[in-house]
């Protein structure tokens, strides 16, 4: 593939890819923690209003950071997405280009939407605490599953060495 030589170079691309690769673990650990927390507690009420937990906030922040790094890769740094955008129909014929150029992003944005929905269900609306809890569990579990698919459906290093 035309992108292989760029892939081997160190620099901005390798740095952002490595950060994106490591932050995946933070996001996954927080996804598990926030989902377990959602199982154990109903969204608590402070001053008469439902509040999200610290786990929800940390989980959402880690996913947002992951998406930000992903956008940098997608719209500038990654030879996979560049190749896929330049030749979408050709990219559909290569499993790897199709995954990094399209499928990975669909899964990632799906998981970002699920986290946000879970947070909205926990903190807004007039449903009972138990209903809000159930919806938050479903959304966070869906976010966890889609993140696992986004991160592990294509084989990549689990722990990428720091470039240098
Ligand atoms: C929940 C969110 C996400 C997770 C868990 C995730 C996870 C990963 C992982 C594990 C890799 C492989 C890293 C490596 O090779 O070491 C990767 C690569 C990549 N991700 Fe994500 N990602 C997420 C969101 C996004 C988003 C939103 C975008 C783009 C809009 C994106 C774009 C990319 C690109 C372009 C690559 C690299 C392809 C290359 O090797 O050049 N990611 N992602």
Cβ(27) to ligand 1 under 6 A?
yes
Cα angle at 149 between 67 and 41, to 5 degrees?
75
* pLDDT of 135 higher than 60: yes
Calculate the average pLDDT of the chain.
Answer: 90
pLDDT band at 9 (very low <50, low <70, confident <90, very high): low
Cβ(114) to ligand 1 under 6 A?
no
Q: Quick one: pLDDT at residue 49?
A: 65
Question: Which residue from 101, 103, 108 has its CB within 8 A of the most atoms of ligand 1, so it is best to mutate?
Answer: 108
* pLDDT of 51 higher than 90: no
d(CA 75, CA 18): 16
* pLDDT of 7 higher than 70: no
In this structure, the residue with its CA closest to atom 8 of ligand 1 is 151
**What are the pLDDT digits (tens) for 63-121?**
999 999 999 999 999 999 999 999 999 999 999 999 999 999 999 999 999 999 999 98
End-to-end CA distance of the chain: 24
Q: Quick one: pLDDT at residue 106?
A: 98
What are the extents of the domains in the chain? Answer: 10-152
Percent pLDDT > 70 in the chain is 88
Cα angle at 121 between 117 and 122, to 5 degrees?
115
- Transcribe 92-105 into DSSP letters: TTSHHHHIIIIIHH
From the CA of 67, give the closest atom in ligand 1. Answer: 27
Instruction: Please report, to the nearest 10 degrees, the dihedral formed by the alpha carbons of residues 19, 20, 26, 29 taken in order.
Output: -150
Ligand 1 geometric centre to CA of 35 (Å): 22
Contact 80, 3 (CB under 8 A): yes
pLDDT, average across residues 123-131: 81
* pLDDT of 133 higher than 80: yes
Closest CA to 147 of 81, 59, 82: 59
d(CA 118, CA 31): 12
Ligand 1 geometric centre to CA of 150 (Å): 7
Cβ(14) to ligand 1 under 6 A?
no
């Amino acid at each position: 593939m035309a992108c292989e030589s760029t892939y081997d170079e160190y620099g901005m691309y390798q740095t952002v890819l490595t950060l994106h690769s490591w932050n995946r673990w933070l996001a996954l650990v927080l996804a598990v923690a926030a989902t377990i927390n959602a199982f154990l507690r109903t969204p608590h009420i402070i001053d008469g209003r439902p509040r999200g937990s610290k786990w929800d906030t940390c989980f959402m922040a880690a996913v947002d950071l992951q998406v930000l790094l992903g956008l940098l890769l997608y719209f500038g740094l990654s030879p996979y997405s560049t190749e896929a955008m330049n030749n979408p129909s050709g990219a559909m014929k290569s499993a790897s280009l199709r995954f990094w150029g399209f499928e990975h992003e669909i899964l990632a944005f799906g998981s970002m939407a699920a986290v946000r929905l879970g947070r909205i269900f926990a903190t807004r609306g007039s449903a009972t605490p138990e209903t809000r809890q159930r919806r938050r569990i479903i959304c966070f579990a869906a976010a966890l599953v889609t993140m696992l698919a986004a991160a592990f459906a294509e084989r990549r290093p689990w722990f990428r060495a720091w470039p240098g």
